[in-house]
Structure 1
Amino acid sequence: MIPYGKQEIIQADIDAVVEVLKSDFLTQGPMVPKFEQAVADHVGANHAIAVNSATSALHIACMALGLGQGDWLWTTPVTFVASANCGLYCGAQVDFVDIDPQTYNLCPKALKAKLEQAEKENRLPKVVVAVHLCGQPCNMEAIAALSREYGFKVVEDASHAIGGKYQGEFIGNSRYSDITVFSFHPVKIVTTAEGGMAVTNDDQLAEKLNLLRSHGITRDPALMTREPDGPWYYQQVDLGYNYRMTELQAALGVSQMQRLDDFVARRHELARRYDQLLADLPLTLPWQHPDSYSGLHLYVIRLQLENVTLSHREVFEALREQGIGVNLHYIPVHTQPYYEQMGFKDNDFPQSMAYYCEAISIPMFHGLTDQQQDRVVSVLKEILGKAT
């Protein structure tokens, strides 16, 4: 089976983890700050706060921005559920904005129209989570302009996008957002096994994020309510969580970051080959906005079903039967039973549903060989050739 995504672990990665295993620190040692600095330096951010997952990073990002009861969080339906759930964790209500039919990201025109209506109804969002689907950045300049006009905070969910660029600058520099979140799950571009990162340029937000990832506890006298009782003293000054990243994960991340540019460059090579090899098939191939340099976590094809006799499901299952480990990113969040209970209907976001009915993620990862890619293309041609 050729998987849709896969981590690359080399001897240098293994050596880095083994070195930590032999050290004095398995957690709360020097490797986490080193990994944080590596990410901050690469993306051009002032602060980076490592946590145990991108879901945790989204949660504390919303908390740091003051999201709570009576507030609204808006995001895209075409994302993993964590992009919306983080609002619910904070006691807020969640709504969605339909996608742009070309980029599959949150559509700024749809956002503006929804904001205009929400302003009349006094239900403007406090936080908008802009998801960089597949690694391609949203139109952040337009979203940031709307944030200034309507007064909401912006979180970039860049779980797919480390190493990508927007307007020539690395995603994560937070030029157009308050906080950016990365994921280091094994199928992502860089992995720490599990792990995430929140990056920001705001000193106060960074301080808050740092507190929230570790029980709301501080040993900094400047943040305490009275003088410490002694060198052992700490205070819980907020309600936080145990969202810390281990030294083992951070060591793997530091090692992986040294190959980030190579990882993304290879993905672009593979995408160009797919673009050429699949051009004559009844497929809509990924479109890249000229302002973006995608991290290319995923390569999503859309079936032109009017030109295919097989159904979406039949094509998907035929690919898996032939050893191509395809997937679908994502089932629109508003169609999940938990969200249906809130009143959402399938047809609330028609562009998202049209995408879902046609999309298939085909293999895309740094270690994918040309021969494996040729096999993916050959199987697709065989299936679609029979189906047209």
Structure 2
Amino acid sequence: MSFIPYGRQDISEADIQTVVEVLRSDFLTQGPAVPAFEEAVSHYCGAKHAIAVNSATSALHIACLALGVGEGDIVWTSPITFVASANCALYCGASVDFVDIDSRTYNLSVDQLQIKLEQARQKNCLPKVVIPVHLCGQPCEMEQIHQLSQEYGFRIIEDASHAIGGKYQGQPIGNGLYSDITIFSFHPVKIITTAEGGMTLTNNTALAERMMLLRSHGITRDTKQMTHEPDGAWYYQQIDLGFNYRMTDMQAALGLSQMQRLDNFVQRRHELAQHYDELLAHLPITLPWQHPDSHSGLHLYVIRLQLDVIKLTHREVFDALRQQGIGVNLHYIPVHTQPYYQAIGFKQGTFPQAERYYQEAISLPMFSSMTNEQQEYVCSTLTAILSK
């Protein structure tokens, strides 16, 4: 059995041909594929606007800026996420804090959020923005988070980097019903890919226009946004300090092709998850729990070792799987335990559920092209390791 990664892209001949067509066209960077990809994603999700960028990190950054995050503001997110979910606030000059996770979904805990909000209100230090992270593709409890936003006055960015193709309360993630902005990632291990790439979605036209400006140097060719009539057909104005966060036409063409198989990708991931549930049910591990309101995109399949029963350590199980050619991973190291965040004042022990999760979690291989044979090898190998 060859090495089995925890995740990988699924590239078809149709995907390749679509990119080749762009390479043979007049547009490699900014052409018709970018708006076509944006339209496909916004239509699929039921959002009014979609803005394609070069990564989900860039998407998070311009989303924070569009919502006015700056010096003196506070942004809250989950400690179990990739560092970009927190770093985006720091890029804007704001400070960041975390809300501990729910013990079953591993998403930001609504109960802990409400407790922390009430404490923050009493101290007059409420967050400007909260960034719930849809870990593994399972959406957070967005209706309750939205209700809290109405009471406590914060804005919401859904970090749905793992979650395109999933649903919440029967509706597509990304429709913006309970948030200001939603973020998707199209990294190769995600559900669909543009190689590198990301996207912001919103129903707010003013936010969309601001993010479009910020992704391209703060430059506009829209005469309605200019300070005076253009000098000629060549004219543009820089009206803000933006960035080079644009997606290329080659990337967008790949994404547009991949969108045609998105539902199939998610369906296959659910088949794999169900098979994992069946094959691993007898082991001393905790299997993923799905909230009844959610239909996960299933970017990841995370198990937790019952270390009080297993005679091996977390690291021993992880290393044993790697030694057998199974590319397990760990999503994620709690952000507040990273040296950079420790240096700015965060301490071990602050978010106990997140820290316990880290001590027990392992991401098993999960990708749409994974074969039944590969999956059965993963399960039989894990069974053998845990029986020792």
Q: TM-score, normalised by structure 1?
A: 0.99
- Partner of 1:347, secondary structure, is coil
Distance in 1 (CA, whole Å) between partners of 2:267 and 2:54 is: 27
- Partner of 2:319, secondary structure, is helix
Distance in 1 (CA, whole Å) between partners of 2:70 and 2:296 is: 33
- Partner of 2:349, secondary structure, is helix
- What per-residue deviation string (whole Å, max 9, x for no partner) do you get for residues 212-257 of structure 1? 0000000000001111111111111111000000000000000000
Distance in 2 (CA, whole Å) between partners of 1:336 and 1:121 is: 27
Partner residue, 2:251: 249
> 1:290 pairs with 289, 292, 296, which one?
292
Number of aligned residue pairs: 386
Distance in 1 (CA, whole Å) between partners of 2:85 and 2:203 is: 21
Partner residue, 1:240: 242
Q: Does 1:342 align with 2:344?
A: yes
TM-fit CA distance, 1:374: 0.2
Partner residue, 2:221: 219
Partner residue, 2:380: 378
Distance in 2 (CA, whole Å) between partners of 1:351 and 1:241 is: 37
Distance in 1 (CA, whole Å) between partners of 2:148 and 2:228 is: 42
- Partner of 2:387, secondary structure, is helix
- Partner of 2:51, secondary structure, is strand
- Partner of 1:274, secondary structure, is helix
Partner residue, 1:47: 49
Partner residue, 1:157: 159
- Residue type of the partner of 1:370? N
- Partner of 1:206, secondary structure, is helix
**Which residues of structure 1 form unaligned runs of 5+?**
none
Partner residue, 2:66: 64
> 2:30 pairs with 28, 31, 44, which one?
28
Distance in 1 (CA, whole Å) between partners of 2:348 and 2:100 is: 12
> 1:90 pairs with 69, 72, 92, which one?
92
- What per-residue deviation string (whole Å, max 9, x for no partner) do you get for residues 85-131 of structure 1? 00000000000000000000000110000000111111100010110
> 1:318 pairs with 317, 320, 325, which one?
320
> 2:106 pairs with 99, 104, 107, which one?
104
Distance in 2 (CA, whole Å) between partners of 1:166 and 1:315 is: 34
Distance in 2 (CA, whole Å) between partners of 1:89 and 1:267 is: 34
Distance in 2 (CA, whole Å) between partners of 1:251 and 1:64 is: 27
Distance in 2 (CA, whole Å) between partners of 1:343 and 1:61 is: 25
TM-fit CA distance, 1:346: 1.5
Distance in 2 (CA, whole Å) between partners of 1:76 and 1:336 is: 14
- What per-residue deviation string (whole Å, max 9, x for no partner) do you get for residues 339-375 of structure 1? 0011111100000001000000000000000000000
> 2:269 pairs with 267, 291, 298, which one?
267
> 2:309 pairs with 303, 307, 314, which one?
307
Cα RMSD after superposing both structures = 0.4
> 1:366 pairs with 368, 371, 377, which one?
368
Distance in 1 (CA, whole Å) between partners of 2:181 and 2:265 is: 24
Distance in 2 (CA, whole Å) between partners of 1:313 and 1:144 is: 38
Q: TM-score, normalised by structure 2?
A: 0.99
Moved over 3 A (4+): none
Distance in 2 (CA, whole Å) between partners of 1:318 and 1:345 is: 31
Identity of aligned residues (%): 72
> 1:181 pairs with 172, 183, 202, which one?
183
**Which residues of structure 2 form unaligned runs of 5+?**
none
Distance in 2 (CA, whole Å) between partners of 1:274 and 1:108 is: 28
> 1:331 pairs with 316, 329, 333, which one?
333
- Residue type of the partner of 1:45? A
Partner residue, 1:209: 211
- What per-residue deviation string (whole Å, max 9, x for no partner) do you get for residues 284-324 of structure 1? 00000000000000000000000100000000000000111
TM-fit CA distance, 1:28: 1.0
TM-fit CA distance, 1:169: 0.2
- Residue type of the partner of 1:360? I
TM-fit CA distance, 1:157: 0.3
Distance in 1 (CA, whole Å) between partners of 2:69 and 2:223 is: 27
Distance in 2 (CA, whole Å) between partners of 1:346 and 1:168 is: 38
TM-fit CA distance, 1:175: 0.3
Q: Does 1:8 align with 2:5?
A: no
Distance in 2 (CA, whole Å) between partners of 1:175 and 1:346 is: 36
